[in-house]
């Protein structure tokens, strides 16, 4: 994402500001404010408005902003610095008083998933025949229809279970008041950032050792919390659709984990071009669950692995032990455990 530089000079120049819509922190990294020193963070009360000279979306659902000049032409800064990070859901960017980037807008760095019909087919409320369902339980999709989705999972009878997402205007997509549907798998494709994902009926899954490793490091939290980089999280590390105050049961956490794992298992299947043992596959799924598909896809680890350099790829695990530029003991232990499983 390129930096948006905004001029503050001249009488006709637009004025850009950042506005806090909740009590929040300006920070020197995207890490959780609780892990930073007082010189690395600045509390901003709800309603605070600050002039900015530039802004840019960055990973972990944050914005990087450069403070501008006040009405008297004096440079704004805190702790002697004018460049800071802010958690996106807590702020808005305004241009001449109009909101151009809302805290509720989706993370621009997140991958975009869509469902595409490659033949005329039905969205259905179960995996039975569409002819046996009432009109309120089915929705016709013409060939080449494309719909945003927030999640997908394999279901029985060669079907997919999909949760519809939001359109480009940020409005929730639904049919008959419902967002969760089943669709016959051979009639559709799932695309990630415009690329078709291979979703087999007999998909490869993380093994028991990998699942136990992942669970042990993610931990189980039944109430929503902000992780080390400030992202709202629940269950075994689920971040999609999590909101402050959200609570779930342990069985719901297990279901969310199974749903999330499909995405990361599919990512490893699609990105890795060399043979993998079950332990190697499972270590990569745990790694990708933690750092994200985009990080794996651009990593030296993947490049070395696809060159057939398994040992070199294994050593790359150890480099991914930082959050917000700081080495974390928990991440160091996790990377060592994943490397050990990969080499077993």
| Burial letters 78-87, b for 16+ CB under 10 A, else e | eeeebebbbb
C-alpha to C-alpha distance for 227 and 289, rounded to whole angstroms: 14
C-alpha to C-alpha distance for 52 and 209, rounded to whole angstroms: 49
Question: Range with the lowest mean pLDDT among 111-115, 129-133, 318-322?
Answer: 111-115
- Tens of pLDDT, residues 23-78: 899 999 887 777 788 899 999 999 999 999 988 887 767 888 999 998 888 999 99
Which residue in the block uniquely carries the two structure tokens 């997509």? 173
pLDDT at 104 over 70: no
**R_g of the chain, CA atoms, integer Å:** 22
Cα→Cα distances 252→18, 189, 240, 273, Å = 37, 27, 14, 34
Query: Is 212 known to be catalytic?
Result: no
Query: What integer pLDDT is reported at residue 316 of this predicted model?
Result: 96
Mean pLDDT of the chain: 86
C-alpha to C-alpha distance for 326 and 267, rounded to whole angstroms: 27
In order of their start, the domains of the chain are 4-101 (2.30.30), 113-196 (2.30.30), 208-343 (1.10.530.40)
Query: What integer pLDDT is reported at residue 47 of this predicted model?
Result: 92
Q: Is the dihedral of CA 147, 148, 150, 153 positive or negative?
A: positive
Catalytic residue among 38, 212, 218, 254: 218
Tokens of 24: 């929040």
Cα→Cα distances 162→11, 165, 189, 270, 300, Å = 51, 9, 12, 20, 33
Query: What integer pLDDT is reported at residue 318 of this predicted model?
Result: 95
Residue 277: helix, strand or coil by DSSP?
coil
Question: Range with the lowest mean pLDDT among 67-71, 133-137, 190-194, 245-249?
Answer: 190-194
Please give the distance of CA 136 from its chain centroid, rounded to a whole number: 32
Helix/strand/coil percent split, the chain, to 5: 30, 30, 40
pLDDT at 12 over 60: no
C-alpha to C-alpha distance for 309 and 303, rounded to whole angstroms: 9
- Tens of pLDDT, residues 199-253: 654 567 899 999 999 999 989 999 999 887 788 999 998 888 888 999 999 999 9
**pLDDT band, residue 139 (cuts 50/70/90):** very high
Q: Quick one: average pLDDT of 135-160?
A: 88
Q: Quick one: average pLDDT of 159-173?
A: 84
Question: Range with the lowest mean pLDDT among 108-117, 296-305, 325-334?
Answer: 108-117
Distance separating the N- and C-terminal Cα atoms of the chain: 39
Query: What integer pLDDT is reported at residue 107 of this predicted model?
Result: 52
* 80: Cβ contacts below 8 Å, ≥ 6 apart: none
């Amino acid at each position: 994402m390129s930096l948006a530089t905004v001029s503050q000079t001249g009488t006709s120049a637009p004025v850009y500001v950042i506005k806090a819509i909740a009590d929040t922190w300006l920070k020197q990294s995207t890490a959780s404010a609780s892990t930073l020193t007082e010189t690395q963070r600045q509390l901003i009360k709800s309603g605070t408005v600050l002039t900015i000279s530039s802004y840019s979306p960055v990973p972990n659902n944050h914005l990087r902003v450069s403070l501008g000049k006040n009405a008297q032409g004096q440079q704004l800064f805190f702790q002697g610095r004018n460049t800071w990070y802010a958690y996106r859901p807590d702020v808005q960017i305004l241009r001449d008083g109009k909101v151009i980037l809302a805290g509720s807008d989706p993370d621009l760095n997140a991958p975009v998933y869509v469902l595409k019909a490659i033949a005329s087919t039905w969205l259905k409320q179960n995996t039975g025949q569409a002819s046996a369902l009432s009109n309120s339980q089915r929705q016709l999709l013409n060939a080449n229809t494309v719909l945003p989705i927030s999640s997908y999972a394999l279901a029985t009878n060669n079907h997919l279970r999909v949760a519809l997402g939001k359109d480009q205007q940020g409005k929730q997509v639904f049919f008959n008041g419902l967002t969760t549907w089943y669709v016959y798998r051979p009639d559709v494709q799932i695309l990630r950032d415009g690329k078709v994902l291979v979703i087999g009926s007999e998909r490869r899954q993380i093994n028991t050792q990998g699942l136990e490793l992942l669970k042990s490091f993610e931990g189980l939290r039944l109430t929503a919390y902000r992780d080390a980089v400030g992202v709202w999280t629940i269950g075994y590390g689920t971040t999609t659709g999590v909101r402050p105050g959200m609570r779930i049961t342990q069985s719901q956490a297990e279901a969310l984990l199974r749903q999330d794992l499909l995405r990361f298992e599919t990512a490893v299947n699609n990105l890795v071009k060399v043979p993998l043992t079950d332990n190697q596959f499972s270590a990569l799924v745990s790694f990708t669950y933690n750092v994200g598909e985009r990080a794996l896809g651009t990593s030296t680890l993947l490049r070395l692995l696809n060159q057939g350099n398994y040992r070199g790829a294994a050593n790359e695990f150890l480099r991914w032990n930082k959050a917000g530029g700081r080495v974390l003991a928990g991440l160091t232990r996790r990377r060592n455990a994943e490397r050990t499983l990969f080499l077993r």
